Amino acid sequence: MIAVQQQWQLLTADIGAAFLRGLTFQELSSITNQPLRQCSFEFPRRYVEFIRELPGHSDFNPDCDELYMLKPIYGLQDAPRAWRMRLHISLIASKAQQLTTDTCLYVWYVTTVECSGKKMWGALSTHVDDLKITGTVDFTQFILSFLEKEFGALKVQKDKFEHCGLIHEANPDGSIIVHQNHYGERLKPIDLTGVTLDQPTAACSPMQCEAYSSGVGAIAWMAQTRIDVLVHIQSLQRATKSPTIGHLIRLNIVIKWIKRKPLHIKYHRLQTPNLITLVINDAAFRREDSTGLAMRGSLIALAEDRPQLRGTIRLMLVDYYSKRQRKVVRSTFGAETHAAADGAEVGKLVAYTFAELLTPGVSAAQILRMEAEGRLPTPLHIITDCKSLYDSLRMDEVQVPSESSLIMVLLQLKEGLRTGSIRAISWVDTRDMCADGLNKGIIARRALRAVATTGEWELQHDSQTFTEATRNDVTAEVVDSEALSQARQQASLKS
């Protein structure tokens, strides 16, 4: 992979007055084949003389003349669209390729002799007028020069900057850390002075409800990087309509945790040329008399391909989530099965994106064909700590479980293994599971935080891996205690 072979620059560019640089109403109409929109406006009378001083407008009369906008600007619903289309047209003109899996991502390729084909030159992501750019030195010089020619002066920051509320820091070793610790430091717990804390079920006052909603919204913004509190954010959000004093107390606990324990996500070079899309799934199910709660959580990462899961697995987080189950479940097995199926779907989207990045000019139909034939560049590898689910999928024929409605979900996963769209499934010991912190509140966050901050997942116990292609069921034994101790020391030093 090109990103592994050479160190790229990382920078952000802000385009000033972006909406003023968008397409005109006439250009929008021509491109979209929609009727031409006319938008007139009024302005304060004190500007009449200014209009009359313009060439050809000396006889302007505000009582009978109208001023029409040439292009949509701030305040009009067309403005973001006009700007986005203008930016897209310019980037495509610079030979960029827009990804179909994420239309906000653009990639440039160059033809090289040593690679006998095209290799990635640089990439750019868009968020309104904020652009994040990475690539070789000559690419960043090219794209900045191109953007300045198209849109004027840019506000450029390199190596360490804030982009869309996230701090990006590029390190000399080529690794990058992303965090929101600066935002977390500014969070303030809700003032509980005068609140009767020994009555947690008491309803909040209107003012306390407002403070609670504001506080939950503040910590929800940190869900972009704080994977250690995702499950708490999700839990607190469910109570925004009618919070109690107990919810206020829990919110303050989460805020204090965020302030006391900063966290970052590390992206670093992966050494092996063969990489996989690793989907680490876990679920939680709580049986109750009248209601139940079923949670699912997944870590989706780009990881080094290993024949066996053992020791320290190097990876980079790409996506993650903590959500309630989309379907009704009646058992832990049901929760784990649905979580694995949902995680596989998200993992496939990530694998599709890497297929686009690593295969210049590939179409959506070709990516689907690659998946059906088990030829995705970063094949899908599913991880679960549910031994019964693993045993069900390694059987020659899937048996109908006691919760019979799950048979179709199991068959879907089994078909993925048989076709190769899911290359392998692994069972790991619950004591090694790092994704359980995404759906359980009262457990240690050590493993989850280590995956984020070090980019490494340490397996201390036996695991098993099954792949349908070779009918291979392998047990990976844990490394010896001395090697394990050394690995722990290295991970501690890196963090």
pLDDT digits (tens, 9 = 90+) for 281-293: 999 887 654 455 7
Can you read off the two tokens belonging to residue 282? Answer: 């876990």
Report whether pLDDT(4) > 50. Answer: no
Q: What is the pLDDT of residue 474?
A: 57
Question: Which candidate, 357, 323, 347, 297, places its Cα nearest to that of 102?
Answer: 357
Q: Residue 405 gets which letter from DSSP?
A: G
The confidence score (pLDDT) of residue 287 equals 62
Token pair for 190: 């809700």
Coil, strand or helix: which one is 276? strand
Higher pLDDT, 199 or 281: 281
Give residue 155's pLDDT.
93
Residue 245 has a CB neighbour count (10 Å cut-off) of 21
pLDDT band at 117 (very low <50, low <70, confident <90, very high): confident
Q: According to the model, what pLDDT value does residue 492 have?
A: 47
User: Using CA atoms, how far apart are residues 13 and 239, in angstroms rounded to an integer?
Assistant: 39
Q: Which amino acid is at 126?
A: T
Q: How large is the average pLDDT for residues 112-133?
A: 84
Q: Worst-scoring range by mean pLDDT, 106-120, 282-296, 371-385?
A: 282-296
Cα distance from N-terminal residue to C-terminal residue, the chain: 26
What is the Cβ-side half-sphere exposure of residue 303, based on CA atoms within 13 angstroms? 30
Give this prediction's pTM: 0.85
- Band of residue 2 on the pLDDT scale cut at 50, 70, 90: very low
Phi, psi of 433 (to 5 degrees): -65, 125
Assign a CATH topology to domain 270-494: Nucleotidyltransferase; domain 5 (3.30.420)
Residues 6+ away with beta carbon under 8 Å from 383? 278, 279, 280, 281, 309, 425, 426, 428, 435
Cα dihedral sign for 344, 347, 353, 358? negative
- DSSP designation for 249: H
- 159, pLDDT greater than 50: yes
DSSP 108-130: EEEEETTTTEEEEEEEEEEETTE
The two tokens of residue 390 are: 């693993």
Q: CA torsion angle for 311, 315, 319, 325 (degrees, to 10)? A: -10
- pLDDT at position 52: 87
Q: What is the pLDDT of residue 483?
A: 46
Alpha-carbon separation of residue 5 from 68, 106, 120, 276, 455 (angstroms): 54, 20, 11, 17, 19
Of 435, 233, 428, nearest in space to 339 by CA = 435
Each domain of the chain, given as residue ranges in start order, spans 2-161, 181-260, 270-494
What pLDDT was estimated at residue 472? 55
Contact criterion met (CB below 8 Å) for 179 and 166: yes
pLDDT digits (tens, 9 = 90+) for 35-91: 988 888 877 888 888 888 888 888 888 888 888 888 888 888 888 999 999 999 999
Give the burial class of 101: count Cβ atoms within 10 A of its Cβ; 0-12 exposed, 13-18 middle, 19 or more buried. middle
pLDDT at position 152 over 60: yes
Q: For 379, which DSSP code?
A: -
Between residues 441 and 222, the one the model is more confident about: 222
pLDDT at position 6? 59
Could you identify the residue written with the tokens 């407008």? 57
Question: Distance (Å, rounded) from C-alpha 133 to C-alpha 146?
Answer: 13
pLDDT score for 494: 44
